[in-house]
Structure 1
Amino acid sequence: MNFQEYPDRDMLAIDVANALAGDIESALLHNEKVALAVPGGTTPGPIFDVLCAADLEWERVRVMPTDERCVPNDDARSNERLIRERLLTNRASVAEYVPLYVSGRNPEDALAEIETLIAPVLPLSVLVLGMGEDMHTASLFPGMLGLEAALDSHAPILSIARTEVQPEPRITLTAPVLDGALSKHLVIFGASKREALDRAMGLPPEEAPIAAVLSGMTVHWAE
């Protein structure tokens, strides 16, 4: 694991965006289509604001969320909404987007169809993750129903995440898909998340799901 510390969040956003652009450009040299998986939430927005202006062949990039809440894509809590508003704009507007949730459909009914869009571009070329203070990543939560199956090396591409603390089900890329990415970046802010990451490195993935994907990870941290 490579740990990079930044003096502030603005500098982190610029440097991470530049690193991602370089990773995507390198991947495009060797593949007709490449996959970029990114998180939602508040953390990646400033990174997207810089990355979307990168001079890349975005039409060859397939963008997807690492996980998604089963809410309409215009909902304020939708990862798709954030990604479309902050990343799939400017030069990146021509990138292809792969939604993990289709509004109005039972999530279980749509999984196989969505997996057929993701499978051809695996392994993921570039992955960006966040992490909660509970050491969850994507929608792999400690103690959730189905976590063991989603962590298994033979897990399918997608899994349904249901927890007692989340108001709706979520769809998530599984641990082997996340861990198999060729370039992996984790972005975290604040002392509490840095401490959580330190704890995770000494725990099994069932207790700290982020531990399942840390091999070869570049961690970007700022207070």
Structure 2
Amino acid sequence: MAISELKLPQGVQAHEFRTPTLLAEGQARAVAEQLRGAIAARGVATLVVSGGRSPVAFFQSLVKQELDWSKVVVSLADERWVPVEHADSNAGLLQRYLLQGPAAKARFIGLYNAAANLEAAAEQADRLLAELPAIDVLVLGMGDDGHTASLFPGSPNLAAALQVDGSRRVWPMMAPTVPRQRLSMSRALLASATFTVLAISGQSKLTTLNAALAGDSLATMPIRAFLQPTLDIYWCP
């Protein structure tokens, strides 16, 4: 199966690359172009990215793009509720692979804090994100279970986090894998992005995306919430 064979919603753009390296480079060029446009228009650009291991090559390529990072605000679509020093921390991942060299000048707004419990951490992150400017670029990934950010099927707060008009910015979420405790931006906040990229690799992810397109349930396939005309899909076999 190729991404060109999928029945994508009108307005959704698909970009196919031969290798993960070419995908990362193409994605980085497109994101940098959007950020430069936002800086030219408003003097600042906001980039929200997802964590995990998949985006590392993209981060490394993005750092090499011509961009005034001092005018960029970076935040995370989701975070594991672990200290930044922990190997599973998304903020730590950004520090190692994105916020380096010229990109170290960017302003980073993280989600993690050492609150008494996950709910309190989510409430504090929600207040902190009141400082987040409008999102110019959002970069999402997708799991084989159809989750994106940390909007996991079966998580107790999923229905509330997926509300289109919800006022809350961050929700405590539970993942099926360790570390289970997560923080995730809400659908309402994520969907406010001007330009959204979904980056996926491999046939299994394409099969999951095809199932999401054919289904009708956000509860079982949260990625469906973002299959909108503002979406660009970047895929390689």
Q: TM-score, normalised by structure 2?
A: 0.88
Alignment of 1:1-223 (within 5 A): 1-103=12-114, 105-155=116-166, 156-203=168-215, 204-215=217-228, 216-223=230-237
Shift of 1:106: 3.1
Structure 2 residues not aligned, in runs of 5+: 1-11
**Unaligned runs of at least 5 residues, structure 1:** none
1:220 partner amino acid:
Y
CA RMSD of aligned residues (A): 1.6
Change (3 A) 1:153 1:66: same
Q: Which amino acid aligns with 2:236?
A: A
Structure 1 residues 182-214: Cα deviation after superposition (integer angstroms, max 9, x where no partner):
010011010010010011112221110000012
Q: Deviations over 1:25-66 (max 9, x none)?
A: 011122233221111111110111111122222112111111
Distance 1:149 1:115, change over 3 A: same
- 2 CA distance for matches of 1:36 and 1:45? 15
- What SS does the corresponding residue of 1:152 show, helix, strand or coil? coil
Distance 1:164 1:91, change over 3 A: closer
- 1:100-148 deviation per Cα after TM superposition (whole angstroms, max 9, x unaligned): 0113553433444433443344431101010000000000011210111
Cα distance in structure 1, aligned partners of 2:117 and 2:94? 22
Do 1:34 and 1:121's aligned partners in 2 also have CA atoms closer than 8 Å? no
SS in 2 for 1:42: coil
**Partner secondary structure for residue 30 of structure 1:** helix
Count of matched residue positions in the alignment of Structure 1 and Structure 2:
223
- Please state whether the residue corresponding to 1:91 is helix, strand or coil: helix
CA displacement at 1:4 relative to structure 2: 1.0
Partner letter of residue 211 of structure 1? R
